[in-house]
Amino acid sequence: MLNESSRLLLQQQFMERFSGRTIIVHRGFPEQFLRELLEQAGGSGHFRVDVRIPESAPPTPIEWVVHRFVLPLSLPLPLLIRVDADALYLRHLMHDNTAGHPSEILWMLDAIRERYHARLDRQQGYYAVSMGMAVQDNDINYGFNND
């Protein structure tokens, strides 16, 4: 069990490293997904965390956030996280039972502060959870109409 000063330090280190960035949490990618992700504009700039790798003891800052706050939400993986100074915005990448195309990530990021499955508000040494849209809702507004 981590004490308060350890949690504060982990949170500070996490924010120093990841604020303003995106993280993809996964349990391995579907075939071709990683290759297609890396071919997308900015696709190699997303940090990727494979949760099949157990949390170390003591945990790294990203392990602490992912294993203690993100995974308990039981959202489908892969999962996109936008890290802002005051909150983490989470949105899964699934459509029905398959991961969407990596090109959808930039569209999701454009609207993630309004359309998220969960928001983790930064508190002193922990994150308070606010649920957003339903897990089944993962529609993307592409900003154009095909009528």
- pLDDT tens digits for 101-112? 888 888 899 999
pLDDT of residue 143: 66
Q: What is the mean pLDDT of residues 108-128?
A: 96
**Prediction pTM value:** 0.90
Identify whether the C-beta of residue 66 lies closer than 8 Å to the C-beta of residue 48: no
Q: Tokens for 82, please give them.
A: 């936008």
pLDDT of residue 114: 95
Which residue, chain included where needed, has tokens 């996280």?
81
Q: What is the mean pLDDT of residues 72-89?
A: 96
Share of the chain above pLDDT 70, in %: 94
Among 8-17, 41-50, 107-116, 121-130, where is mean pLDDT lowest? 41-50
pLDDT of residue 33: 83
pLDDT of residue 147: 52
pLDDT of residue 146: 53
- pLDDT tens digits for 32-73? 888 887 887 676 678 999 999 999 999 999 999 999 999 999
pLDDT of residue 25: 96
Which residue, chain included where needed, has tokens 């915005």?
89
Those residues with Cβ within 8 angstroms of residue 114's Cβ, 6 or more apart along the chain or in another chain: none
